[in-house]
Structure 1
Amino acid sequence: MFKWIAVVVVLAVVVVLVLAASRPDSFRVERTVRIQAPPEKVYAYIEDFHLWPQWSPFEKLDPDMQRSFSGAAKGLGAVYAWAGNGKAGAGRMEIIESTRASRVTIALDFLKPFKASNTAEFTLLPRDGATEVTWAMFGPTPFVAKIIHLFFSMDGMVGQDFETGLATLKWLSEQG
């Protein structure tokens, strides 16, 4: 009896490992919203980490989160670090590319609850008097993450948060 249980467990592990090995080596999650405001107005909320508490859903994960800012005040070279509860975790963001009113690229390093280095990117495209804003996050998928992604998708983990953040960014940008 124990022999059959062991065989089933070993087979299950082998199947999981084979499926994980077949997963992509990288991931990408993105959401887009149309905002009835000029790109410059929307860009101002994205390039300044001091304004993120007004719209980023991740800022609400821990009301006691510790934040620090360094580098440039905003735009290229601006750095934002945080440390919070288990939901918020800890990490650091740095704006590594900033093209006025059209693109912000951020190096995103998570330290807790797990270590990961990804890229977040915001693109702003003028469209018929409005701005189409895309928030994307992408990065490598190490083998352990491939196993996790068999059971939990990155899109499922952060896609709704991106939608919430973009909806709030839309509301803020369309005011006055």
Structure 2
Amino acid sequence: MKTFLKIIGIIVLLAIVYALVAVLAFSKEYHYEKSVVIKAPKEKVWQYVGSLKGYNMWDPFSKEIRDISITYSGDGDKVGDSYHWKGDENEGEQTITGIVPNEKMMTNLRFIQPFEGNAKVVFTLTPEGNGTKVTWAIDNELNNMMKIMKPMMNSNMDKMFGQGLEDLKKLSEK
């Protein structure tokens, strides 16, 4: 029993040390990006990247929310257009902040539930060989709890961005 308690004590101590190191050492600035090359011209890929309605055809995050309701403001393809989602204890909105047709769309992502926060999202299309390279990037600021969870966040972002880009690729290559 003493050995078991010692092991538990060591695990708790290591968790506390990790949390302190994470809070003190990890930057509050967070950047994640992932790319895929799609065998389609950028004009075809753009129809799914250059508008919020197109984006929602392959967005992996909204697929994870049960009972999601999406409301659009505008056509979803101009600066200032936005969409609001709500469902299953999740709520937020995404607004277009900049567009370079067939090349780049920038948005502000505002989380309302289950936690509040803001992030900047950029989709960039560049020619690559006979196809189009799509880079999906997100930048935000981490609070102390998110710093502690950063390794899990990276793993989740890799999974979700990978899934989304694969779905985008399937749509664009039809």
Find the aligned partners of 1:132 and 1:174 in 2 and give their Cα distance: 13
Residue 75 of structure 2 corresponds to residue 76 of structure 1: no
Is the 1:30–1:136 contact (alpha carbons within 8 Å) kept by the matching residues of 2?
yes
Residue 18 of structure 2 corresponds to residue 19 of structure 1: no
- SS in structure 1 of the partner of residue 172 of structure 2: helix
Amino acid at match of 1:156: S
Give every structure 1 segment of 4 or more consecutive aligned residues whose post-TM-superposition deviation is greater than 6 Å: 7-12
Task: Give identity over the alignment, percent.
Answer: 31
Instruction: Please name the residue that 1:161 is paired with.
Output: 160
Find the aligned partners of 1:68 and 1:96 in 2 and give their Cα distance: 18
Deviations 1:101-153 (A, max 9, x none): 1111110111111111111111100112210001111111222321332xx43
> Cα 1:12–1:52, aligned 2, differ >3 Å: closer, same or farther?
closer
Find the aligned partners of 2:170 and 2:34 in 1 and give their Cα distance: 16
Instruction: Please name the residue that 1:51 is paired with.
Output: 54
- SS in structure 2 of the partner of residue 64 of structure 1: coil
How far did residue 11 of structure 1 move?
9.1
Report the TM-score when normalising by structure 1: 0.83
Find the aligned partners of 2:46 and 2:172 in 1 and give their Cα distance: 9
Unaligned runs of 5+ residues in structure 2 are 1-5
Instruction: Please name the residue that 1:114 is paired with.
Output: 115
Question: Number of paired residues?
Answer: 166
Alignment of 1:7-156 (within 5 A): 13=16, 16-86=19-89, 89-149=90-150, 152-156=151-155
How far did residue 18 of structure 1 move?
4.0
Find the aligned partners of 2:170 and 2:91 in 1 and give their Cα distance: 28
> Cα 1:16–1:76, aligned 2, differ >3 Å: closer, same or farther?
same
Deviations 1:47-88 (A, max 9, x none): 2222334211122113521111114541322201101114xx
Is the 1:31–1:163 contact (alpha carbons within 8 Å) kept by the matching residues of 2?
yes
Is the 1:41–1:173 contact (alpha carbons within 8 Å) kept by the matching residues of 2?
yes
Is the 1:21–1:146 contact (alpha carbons within 8 Å) kept by the matching residues of 2?
no
How far did residue 91 of structure 1 move?
0.5
> Cα 1:56–1:15, aligned 2, differ >3 Å: closer, same or farther?
closer
Find the aligned partners of 1:126 and 1:120 in 2 and give their Cα distance: 20
Amino acid at match of 1:40: E
> Cα 1:63–1:144, aligned 2, differ >3 Å: closer, same or farther?
closer
